[in-house]
Amino acid sequence: MASQRPVLLATGASARALVAPGREQSLPAIDDHLLAEDCREELVGGERYALMPANEPHGSQHFDLPKVLGNVLNDAYKGSVEMLTRPSVGSDFAPDVSIFPKARDPVTGGRQVEELIFEVKDTESWSHVTTKARELFARGLRRAFVVEVASRAIYEWSVTRGAWDRLALTAVLTDPCFVVPVPVGALVDDLLGERAIAQALIARNNPEITAVVQQGESRGEARGEARGEARGKRLGQVEGRAQALLSVLEARGLAVPDIARERIHGCADIATLDRWIARAVAVSRIEDFFAEG
């Protein structure tokens, strides 16, 4: 049963929105809020819930999740943290991370409904998370995810089954919102998250990254072709990527020990070198560079 306690209304919001609509009454705009943005409460199905401060693991996950997601979005989308959204007459709540189109709603001129949401779940009940997801799906949400703090597990809502499916950390999320496929593990693992960000920067042809890579490749190819070897062009490409890789690491201020240089120059596989270039953009310590082979 809906709570009868008073609700702090946002500027311009109407108390009529707390009354269930008739068949002919349209739903409120997704950004027609009942709550003021600083009230520290949510309305879910007419019930009020206090928003509480997070403990360290919960707070850290709140910090890391948007860091990854915000850097892998394609240009048509944007993200927001703790953004109030109004999916129904009696609800006004804020998903932890929302992904939505940059384009305005052609009918209302306001924000469009989220296409993806991500919730960080610590003490929040599954029923509460599920209610919020169901209400947003009724308004056009495409996908909903939960990151469970204690287990570091990732779940996605299955509309077909009406339940949360646990995703393998080795699985990959592909979606029109993302410029590159995102490993599920990147949402809870720092190194995988950094690699996803690096790959997105390369996919977007980030000018600084592109310039460093191209300079390294050009120098390497020139040396390979100058040697006049039969396979000079391919060897030049290999050496060029190795040089580009070292250039990226050094440009980021990472000292590269001799043993690492030898391994890089000893690699003749272009695909491996390309993966290492993506990793070089992201690693914070040279010790992490070869962590996954």
How far is 83 from 250, CA to CA, in rounded Å?
39
On the question of pLDDT at 23 being above 70, the answer is no
Q: Tell me the C-alpha to C-alpha distance, in Å, between residue 99 and each of 38, 77, 173.
A: 21, 7, 14
- Give the Cα separation of 73 and 52 in Å (integer): 29
| Whole-number pLDDT of residue 142 | 97
Q: Show me where the domains of the chain are located.
A: 15-185, 205-288
Mean pLDDT of 260-270: 87
In the predicted model, what is the mean pLDDT of residues 41-47?
81
In whole angstroms, give the CA distance from residue 178 to residue 141: 16
Structure confidence by residue, pLDDT tens digits, 158-168: 999 999 999 99
Confirm whether pTM is higher than 0.75: no
pLDDT band at 220 (very low <50, low <70, confident <90, very high): low
Judge whether residue 7 has pLDDT over 60.
no
Residue 104: helix, strand or coil by DSSP?
coil
Q: What is the rounded distance in angstroms from the CA atom of residue 33 to the CA atom of residue 42?
A: 11
Highest mean pLDDT, choosing among 2-6, 52-56, 154-158, 237-241: 154-158
For 191-211, the pLDDT digits (tens) are 788 878 877 877 777 777 677
15-185 folds as: tt1808, chain A (3.90.1570)
Residue 230 pLDDT > 80 = no
